[in-house]
Amino acid sequence: MPHLVFLDTETTSLDDTRGEVWEIAAIVRRDGHDDVEYLWQIRPNLSTADPMSLRISRYYERRVLGIHAPGEAVALIDPDEDSRRFTGAAAVANKLAQLLEGAHVVGAVPDFDFRFLRRFLARYGECWTAHYHLINVEALAVGYLYGVVAGHHDYATDGPDGTRQPEGSEFHPANSLPSLPWKSLDLYRAVGVDPARHEEHTALGDARLVRAVYDAITGGA
């Protein structure tokens, strides 16, 4: 059975032609095994960075690779290696390509991460090895919510006291159907996931949030 990789990145800009990846989180799920987490930080070139992107991801507060840190990257979580191990960015690219091989990548707007990571991998002689179908949990949530309303699914239309709620009541899902532009946090709450339980704008926190939303919609691991 193909494995899943819940993926998220933090970058120095929203523009993949200018910015670079500086934090990568991958949660690997293989059938019959516990999920395995990986987290790396890469030393970026900040000369074309967007200060707002750095501020949102708290780059200067959270970075481990200071000016005098050895190596170009650090493995903050890697069960296959010693934690907090300084290494080269090429080694991270090689490891990531292996983890992604044949995987179905799950993310929040994963095309964003794909564009940045494809450039990162190519810089070190690697390629994007995951399946070309990317799973966007936001689109998954929208389809699920519309399907719930169309099918009058008990899970979403029953009120907190267990009684059937008429359309127009506070608890009927038709009252919270998403409209464009979609708001990620609203979608997550609508499928029963509390975003506040995850550290926002960190690669691992967002990857864990993506996993929680995917599991809420699909019924779990």
Residues shown for the chain: 221
For residue range 22-59, what is the model confidence (pLDDT) as tens digits?
A: 999 999 999 989 999 999 999 999 999 999 999 999 99
Q: Does one domain contain both 54 and 145?
A: no
132: in domain: no
| pLDDT at residue 165 in the model | 44
Nearest Cα neighbor of 4 from 106, 115, 95 is 106
DSSP string, 174-215: GGG---SSP-HHHHHHHTT--GGGS-TTSHHHHHHHHHHHHH
One domain for residues 87 and 144: no
CATH of the domain at 18: 3.30.420.10
Domain boundary among the residues 123, 149, 175 is at 123
Q: What is the pTM of this model?
A: 0.86
For 17, the domain range is 4-123
Which residues make Cβ contacts (< 8 Å) with residue 36, sequence separation at least 6?
Answer: 27, 28, 29, 79
In this structure, the answer to whether residues 11 and 106 fall within a common structural domain is yes
Asked if 59 and 111 sit in the same domain, the reply is yes
Q: Where are the alpha helices (DSSP H) in 1-109?
A: 51-56, 59-62, 89-100
Give the Å distances, CA to CA, from 135 to 30, 61, 99, 121, 169: 16, 31, 17, 20, 32
- Per-residue confidence band for 181, with pLDDT thresholds at 50, 70 and 90: confident
Judgement on whether residues 10 and 95 belong to the same structural domain of the protein: yes
Query: 148 and 93 share a domain?
Result: no
| Percentage with pLDDT > 90 across the chain | 67
Residue 161 lies in a domain: yes
Q: Domain end: 69, 98, 123, which one? A: 123
Residue 107 lies in a domain: yes
Which tokens hold the place of 45? 């070139």
Contacts of 133 (CB under 8 A, 6+ apart): 104
* Count of domains for the chain: 2
- pLDDT tens per residue across span 116-162: 999 999 999 999 999 999 999 999 999 988 887 766 545 444 444 44
Query: Does residue 154 fall inside a structural domain?
Result: yes
The whole-angstrom separation of Cα 191 and Cα 82 is 37
Q: Compute φ and ψ for 134, nearest 5 degrees.
A: -95, 140
